[in-house]
Amino acid sequence: MRLAAGDLHYPVPRSSSAEVSFVADAESYRRLLVAAGFKVVKQRSRRDFALEVFAQMKARGAAGAPVPLGLHIVMGASAGQKVKNMMGDITAGLIAQISMTPEPEIPDSGHSLAQTRFRKRESALDGWANGHDACTQAVEFPIG
């Protein structure tokens, strides 16, 4: 996730260029989760862990050749540059892996959780649906 403004460096493991990279900040993810009927009960930055792993990778790399089977096979010939760019952006404080633990909001309205979620989606689709029955009727789904 995005931690600070600034130019990200490409290619990275997740994308080859800025045109196909959609990195957002934690608040954007949180806002989308809330809109979908969730609340974030835990959020944790994995930046320090990533920096530790990168230091270990660098130490292993300095000790000799890469292992025969690893992520460099999946990432292709530019694997070294991708990892270097990602490490640089994390080290500079531009991005970091952030884990979020969402839980569904439990409504107090007397409606089932499924009805509440459907109503939230329904209101988001109102402009698009324009009266289609499938989008304007609350449907109760069994929750097990």
23 and 10: one domain? Answer: yes
What pLDDT, in 10s, does the model give residues 104-129? 987 666 655 555 555 555 555 554 44
**Lowest mean pLDDT, pick from 22-36, 45-59, 89-103:** 45-59
Dist CA 52 CA 59 (whole Å): 11
Sign of the CA dihedral 102, 86, 95, 43? positive
What does each C-alpha distance from 16 to 24, 40, 47, 86, 118 come to in angstroms?
Answer: 17, 30, 22, 11, 37
Q: What pLDDT shows up at residue 80?
A: 85
> What is the tally of structural domains in the chain?
2
117 and 100: one domain? Answer: no
139 and 80: one domain? Answer: no
Query: Among 74, 89, 105, which residue terminates a domain?
Result: 105
| Cβ–Cβ < 8 Å for 114, 88 | no
Query: How many angstroms separate the most distant Cα atoms in the chain?
Result: 66
114 and 79: one domain? Answer: no
Q: What pLDDT shows up at residue 123?
A: 53
4 and 70: one domain? Answer: yes
Q: What pLDDT shows up at residue 47?
A: 94
